[in-house]
Chain A
């Protein structure tokens, strides 16, 4: 089972000056195929949690296992390769490589994996179609709207067929229509590609679309609610 588990994860920033406990004992299990929103007030540790799960940041205490791998035991280089294969990231903004077209952005990680050209091409086109950008494939990020850019970012995150997609406030810079559109696409890919989505958000309309809502307060899970559709 491709699950994510965190046990007693603590992350302290500025340990020398004024320590900030960004995460203060997070226990969480996210199962394969879930569509989970991480919510909570600003500064509650959402970004930190996603970074720790994705191996961008290391916890000070506790264990993080992603798809059966102990993240903490991996070297930085192994982590980069691990992310490339198993985890797709979508950030709040400026995700894309500015000098590459939408298609090239989507192909980028596959290129790093040395996938054959034909496969790359087909996969990129398939994904860009799936996010509704078949007519924008050869546009650079600067020629796309924020919503379109985030859809490309989602397509890129999906391209190497990762097990998990971690998205930190993917809709924060989008208007409500684009947000809804992005969420539709994410939900559909979650269903069809069986990819586990974990995303943080402040947006109530986005929260409403989630099937599980984990609420963080002061670096701790304060509630964890699973909803049927």
Chain B
């Protein structure tokens, strides 16, 4: 009975219902949109940074990461190259042998990082080919090098010149070699620009005296959500006493830190957002309670208990809350989808900085069910709490005063 009363009350004042439901709807829409954009921007950022070089997950010989020494290289056995068969989320396995060397030309010497890569696999994750500013990309095992522009500049080298590399190879062997520069690569990141030299994997292995060995396997994944299943699969597939498996959070702690700081800042924005939302909804509830004081008085005089009346009004607001939240979800889906498919594109300094690094300056919204659900739920909970106000009001209602109005 009380339910029926509540239900009909909702449809009684259509304008009031529409206003309340709409305020809840917009609250959900706004909160959802904001979270989707904010999370999406970070996802895009992380994805760009991670795929720039490291990849979401890497496999090394145990202890490699702390030392980063060539002596921790391990044999690239077939089964490792086929890890993608063990976990479908692994899109590509990128074998690398990485160490430091001295590059020199006559009187210039410069410390560089010499990385042996599988050119096609490397390109599939890092889009290295797109960063070539002059010359051509590497073939599988030709004696040639790709050199970052910064390195070339330091050494006064240009396309077609020969770069001479000297280093200490595997287990202390002398490493030395000279390679024609086949391409120049432009990295937006100054760190990489000043030190990267790429060789085809077998060439680099030969240079380091580490035939058949690699120092790391970078794994290409589509998105962060794939990390978990991949880690799980790797822990069962790999001998964890011989290998270490790391995700980007371990390899890029600064990025994690930046994200945490940004999220903390956003908490305040969210609090303000929810406060505005709460005030908006509260306003309509307040108006409704005020308008209906006389009616509340009549109902109590004819025998409705205050708790029954309070419950009725609470149910009304709850139903409005549900209605608004559901409509909010329905309205958010196309909006967020639109900005998922057509990301916001930024311009200005920030965008220029991103572009310089080779990142697309876009903020795609993430389209994930849990965002709609959490935001709708949050707004609904706010509504349900605010709905306690009329209960409180009814408890205190002075029947005679209410009916004198």
Contacts and interface: CB of A to CB of B under 8 A. Distances in A.
A99 B298 contact: no
A224 interface: no
B300 A94 contact: no
Contacts of A56: 301, 399-400, 403
Interface string B239-255: 00000000000000000
Contacts of A88: 302
23 contacts: A57-B399, A57-B400, A76-B306, A77-B305, A80-B303, A80-B304, A80-B305, A80-B306, A81-B303, A83-B302, A89-B301, A91-B298, A91-B301, A94-B294, A94-B295, A94-B298, A95-B298, A97-B298, A97-B299, A99-B8, A108-B302, A109-B303, A112-B303
B369 interface: no
Interface in B307-332: 308
Nearest to A113: B303
Interface of A: 51, 54, 56-57, 76-77, 80-81, 83-84, 88-89, 91, 94-95, 97-100, 108-109, 111-113, 156-157, 160
A162 to B, nearest CB: 10
A88 B302 CA distance: 7
A25 B224 CA distance: 81
B5 interface: yes
Contacts of B9: 99
A108 B12 CA distance: 18
B302 A89 contact: yes
Contacts of B298: 91, 94-95, 97
SS of B interface (majority): helix
Contacts of B302: 83-84, 88-89, 108-109, 156-157
A112 B304 contact: yes
Contacts, number: 56
A99 B399 contact: no
Interface size class of B (residues with CB under 8 A): 20 to 34
B5 A99 contact: yes
Given A51-B400, A80-B305, A98 B300 contact: no
Contact of B12 (A54, A98, A113): A98
A81 B302 CA distance: 9
B258 interface: no
B366 to A, nearest CB: 43
What 5 A-B pairs are tightest by C-beta distance, nearest first?
A84-B303, A99-B8, A57-B400, A99-B12, A56-B399
B1 interface: yes
Most buried by A among B298, B303, B399: B303
Given A80-B305, A157-B302, 14 more contacts: A51-B400, A56-B400, A76-B306, A80-B306, A81-B303, A83-B301, A84-B303, A89-B301, A91-B301, A94-B294, A94-B295, A95-B298, A99-B11, A99-B12
A160 B5 CA distance: 20
